[in-house]
């Protein structure tokens, strides 16, 4: 496979990486400031260090969220522009899928663990999804959802060996540990989420699973403030209903 650039800008710390020839050729985590000011320059620097130019890319993979609305739009706009300008492929990767794969390499992770990657959604809430190990990777057993730490811990109280992981786990770790569960915030070997975004992008490119620049959209999960003001909230069927429905209909291998 040719080189695949991976971008993840949904959180406060942006990251980027290049997957090429079955390995991570390089990665970077730009300084924490407005992503629009730091990411493009960091991409140019990373490409140069890897001996590449943007025209060498076979694909550009982008984390589509959930996460910061502004951050996601910045990366998606850049990725679409590169795809249209150079003709390389475009691949959208759910951000929690990439984060879950980071957890898979942790030596402390039990074979039977339920993996719950978490991103901070602010306002006392977090974005999460559920995964479990299978022979060749991970199986996604729920869709992405928005939840408080207390509600998530209560809903998972009956699960054995739950592993909370990610930047949101650091923010809400005290609550999650108090109510049960193991918490770890950082990835193995210092690899950022963009490394897994690029790796997943390469895998999906190899399988012919690419996206069109005109139709790929961010996965926001939470409604925008304008949407919340425009319509009344829908009745919540509860996380248990969501998970059981997803387990039946939407399990996906990663």
pLDDT tens per residue across span 64-79: 999 999 999 999 999 9
For residues 15 and 152, give the distance between their C-alpha atoms in angstroms, rounded to a whole number. 27
pTM reported for the whole predicted model: 0.85
Summarize pLDDT for 212-254 with one digit per residue, the tens: 999 999 999 987 554 545 555 444 444 444 444 444 444 455 6
| pLDDT recorded at residue 250 | 40
Residue 204 has pLDDT above 90, yes or no: yes
> Which residues belong to CATH 3.30.420.40 in the chain?
4-95+189-206, 106-186+238-253
Determine the Cα–Cα distance for residues 246 and 250; give it in Å rounded to an integer.
Answer: 5
What's the rounded Cα separation, in Å, for the pair 93 and 63?
A: 5
Looking at domain 4-95+189-206, its CATH superfamily turns out to be ATPase, nucleotide binding domain (3.30.420.40)
User: Which DSSP string corresponds to 31-65?
Assistant: -SS-HHHHHHHHHHHHHHHTT--GGG-SEEEEE--
Q: Which residue has the tokens 């291998």?
A: 253
Q: Are strands 252-253 and 137-140 parallel, antiparallel or unpaired?
A: antiparallel
Give how far Cα 73 sits from Cα of 52, 98, 217, Å: 25, 18, 9
Please tell me the predicted confidence (pLDDT) of residue 35.
53
The architecture that CATH gives domain 106-186+238-253 is 2-Layer Sandwich (3.30)
Give Cα 247 distance to the centre of its chain: 20
Q: Check pLDDT > 60 for residue 192.
A: yes
- Per-residue pLDDT, averaged over 116-125, amounts to 92
């Amino acid at each position: 496979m040719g080189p695949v650039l991976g971008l993840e800008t949904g959180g406060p710390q942006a990251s980027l990486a290049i997957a090429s020839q079955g390995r991570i050729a390089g990665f970077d985590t730009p300084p924490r400031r407005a992503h629009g000011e730091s990411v493009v320059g960091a991409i140019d620097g990373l490409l140069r260090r890897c001996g590449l130019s943007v025209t060498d890319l076979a694909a550009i993979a982008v984390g589509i969220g959930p996460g910061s609305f502004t951050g996601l739009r910045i990366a998606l706009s850049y990725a679409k522009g590169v795809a249209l300008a150079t003709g390389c492929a475009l691949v959208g990767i759910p951000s929690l899928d990439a984060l879950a794969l980071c957890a898979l390499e942790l030596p402390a992770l039990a074979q039977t663990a339920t993996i719950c990657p978490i991103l901070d959604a602010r306002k006392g809430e977090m974005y999460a999804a559920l995964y479990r190990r299978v022979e060749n990777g991970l199986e996604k057993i729920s869709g992405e959802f928005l939840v408080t730490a207390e509600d998530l811990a209560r809903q998972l109280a009956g699960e054995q060996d739950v592993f909370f992981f990610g930047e949101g786990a650091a923010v809400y770790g005290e609550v999650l540990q108090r109510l049960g569960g193991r918490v770890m915030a950082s990835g193995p070997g210092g690899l950022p989420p963009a490394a897994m975004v690029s790796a997943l992008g390469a895998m999906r490119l190899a399988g012919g699973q690419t996206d069109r620049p005109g139709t790929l959209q961010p996965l926001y999960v939470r409604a925008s403030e304008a949407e919340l003001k425009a319509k009344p909230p829908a009745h919540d069927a509860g996380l248990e209903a969501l998970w059981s429905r997803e387990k039946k209909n939407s399990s996906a291998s990663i």
